[in-house]
Amino acid sequence: MIVFLGEYLGYILVAGALAFWWENRKKYPRLLWQALLAAILSRGIITEAIRFLWHRSRPFVEQNFIPLIPHADSASFPSGHAAFFFAIGTVLYVYNKKAGMVFLLGSALMGIARVAAGVHWPSDVAWGAVIGVVCGFIVSKFAILYSRRQHAS
C-alpha cells in the first residue's frame, strides 16, 4: 500500500483532475492553465531554488537503508511531489471545493506514504505542501485579478 500510494497515486490524481477539467472545461476554462502554472512555479522554480541553496540528504541515505520506493540520492527538502500536487489541489479547490478536497487528501496520503517509504522526512512533505498551497493560491488570486481587469476594460 505504501508503494502504491507513494509511487502511483499521483498518476490517478492527475488523471482525475484532467477528467474533472474536461467535464467542466466550459464552466472552468482557465482551471487547466492555472493548475499547470502553479505546479511549475511550486515544483520547477521554488522547490528547485531551495534545493540548489540547501542540500538535505534523504532518510534512506542518512540512515543507510533501502527505501521501499527506489529513488536517487538527491536533495529531499522540500518535497517536489508535495509541492506539485498540493499546488494543483489548491487551484482545484479554488474552483470546486469538493474536488479540491479529494485531490488534497490524495496528495496528503501520497506524502505520508513517501515518508513511510523512506524517501522523505516529514518536514520535507510539510514544507512542500506549504509551498504548493501558497503557489496555488497566488496563481488563483492573480488570475482572478487579471480576469477582473479584462472585464473592467
pLDDT in tens, 33-88: 999 999 999 999 999 999 999 999 999 999 999 999 999 899 999 999 999 999 99
3-state helix, strand, coil in the chain (%, to 5): 75, 0, 25
pLDDT at site 145: 83
> CA angle, corner 144, sides to 138 and 149, nearest 5?
125
Amino acid of residue 44: G
**From CA 3, how far away is CA 27, in angstroms rounded?**
36
**From CA 74, how far away is CA 60, in angstroms rounded?**
11
Return the axis-axis angle of helices 97-116 and 80-95, rounded to nearest 10°.
Answer: 170
Which three three-digit cell numbers place residue 120?
522523505
CB neighbours of residue 93 within 10 Å: 21
pLDDT at site 150: 73
**From CA 81, how far away is CA 88, in angstroms rounded?**
11
**From CA 101, how far away is CA 84, in angstroms rounded?**
15
Q: Which CATH number fits domain 2-152: 3.30.70.890, 1.20.144.10, 3.30.70.260, 3.40.630.30?
A: 1.20.144.10
**From CA 112, how far away is CA 151, in angstroms rounded?**
42
**From CA 52, how far away is CA 34, in angstroms rounded?**
25
pTM for this prediction: 0.93
Place of cell 499547470: 36
pLDDT at site 153: 63
pLDDT at site 96: 96
